Amino acid sequence: MQQYMGNHPEQNPLACRWALNVCVRGGPVGTGASLGDDMQNPPLFHVLLDHLEATDTRPMDVQRFVDRWHRLKTHEAFPCPVCFLAGKERSLAALPAQGDVEPMKCPSCKTQFNVSIDE
């Protein structure tokens, strides 16, 4: 089972800068998308972006995932980035919170993403 703990801006300023370039400024992958109020679950989104960066995902693949995320409807489940990039649309499942972490796990590929719960 693969696990990934997301970075917080105060812990990893480079990851934060990368995510901002991708989402807000159109940065290296040229999304042109913005982090508006209608964005679905920004903390999870940033953890997933950190994972894509940590696994050296190609910019065009990050672009595809970001585009998919921005097309999410409020009733849709959050897509697993690992499965999405493998050509499958699988949903992440929320696991019970563990202290200040909310784990999200893909039942298909078993990758777990840990999202810090801010108080």
CA 39 to each of CA 33, 72, 108: distance values in angstroms, whole numbers, following the listed order: 10, 9, 25
Query: Given its phi and psi angles, is residue 102 left (phi above 0), alpha (psi -120 to 50 degrees) or beta?
Result: beta
Query: What's the predicted TM-score (pTM) here?
Result: 0.69
Measured CA to CA, the distance from residue 65 to residue 84 in angstroms comes to 7
Q: Per residue in 24-56, pLDDT tens?
A: 434 443 334 444 446 789 999 999 999 999 999
Per the structure, the count of domains in the chain is 1
What was the pLDDT predicted at 65? 96
Q: Residue 22 in contact with residue 49, Cβ under 8 Å? A: yes
Measured CA to CA, the distance from residue 81 to residue 39 in angstroms comes to 17
Residue span of the structural domain in which 96 resides? 3-116
